[in-house]
A and B are shown apart, each in its own frame.
Chain A
């Protein structure tokens, strides 16, 4: 079944910090097809910015590498997969903890994963040391409208 909302895009770019804005703005422009609220769009941009920044400073540690973004759109939701082939995360549980950072000297706040988790509806982290990291995030669009609808129906 094909749906007018079903759509996909792929993006590949170098792990340079000046691509952070490019990445989040491109994903936001794609997500805009679902007509999200300003807040939902800001949540997506922030989460993408966090994941891309992690790939640049932790995955590749400022060396040059490729960051891939794959977006899949469904009716009422979007899935964003951000991956690198950098050094990987040794302990995902520790990395997820609020305020934990492996690079305090860079003034990192340690809030990256916490922000992704609270701004998106689902965040999955897969990582293999030496091979890379993949973050898969889902965001439901028009969540408020959907909730109001179900209240009316009930």
Chain B
């Protein structure tokens, strides 16, 4: 009797909840607020969540449909990320953003099989920008290879157009993520005449004395930093310790957050990093975030992270995905879209000044378009620099184009190899 009663209550609850669930845009937010990388993960998750909350509170969602961006905590564990994916994929999930290269590699075959889009913005497998081979995976507006190329182009700019005879060391996280730029840098080294020295650093990277002693001995002209979490803080501190010129230490965007430079204090002044979005809070959207989210007590965190580099990245990711939803809604004529419609929206996404101004983010990122064949965008990146006195970043360049004539053949070769290994038929974009 008791069991029947409980069953009846459960069924009633499900029936009552179903209409609500069906009328929400599901954005399962795979996040990590705990564990060794929790400090970084929390900021990205806050930015993502706060922007979605803003859309719900200010606009009533997107196209009149509210957003559900419930978080699933992974502790930056790839296996847990897969568990989160499996637990949420049948909820009507529109898109996944795993914020981990290792997890992205594990999810690529799954999302392809389940036909749910995945966006790895600035991380993951670079060659997924070939939409012909990876129909459900996107990595716009930039990837590791374009990031490496943008840094090299910046170095060309400040060296009078020549890197002949220069030495560049790559201090990288000894993982799939850290190894991503090596091919590109090797190819660019052959073209521009610089020597590349590889300095792998094992995870988590708390101890890097050997690598920085090597830098001190060999005196490379520049050191590129390709790390995440504690590896970055230690690297910047060690570089300062050996008096390596901080302006010659340039990080990828995952090595260029406030968390990376603040522990080293004044010693990190002048440190640079490449980025694919702007810095600070000097954009109208932040006024709305303050009014509708933080002041209303609806912020995902304490509100202190608003405007940090990683918060902005999470927000930018959410803003771009929201625009993709609008495209999907317009193209399908359906407000409560499906994952397949979302993919169509992402494949036809256009980001320009007009669109970004409308959402209070004009100039926040580069203009770009996505297509069936090109899931990666143009790969534009700017260089940001840290000012320890004012505790702030500033962009010191415009958005710079990468060497796509070098990178595109690498993307084509890597994606073709993946297609051959996995028996993927290509040609859908012809």
- Is chain B found bound to chain A in the same assembly? no
Chain A positions near chain B (C-beta within 8 angstroms): none
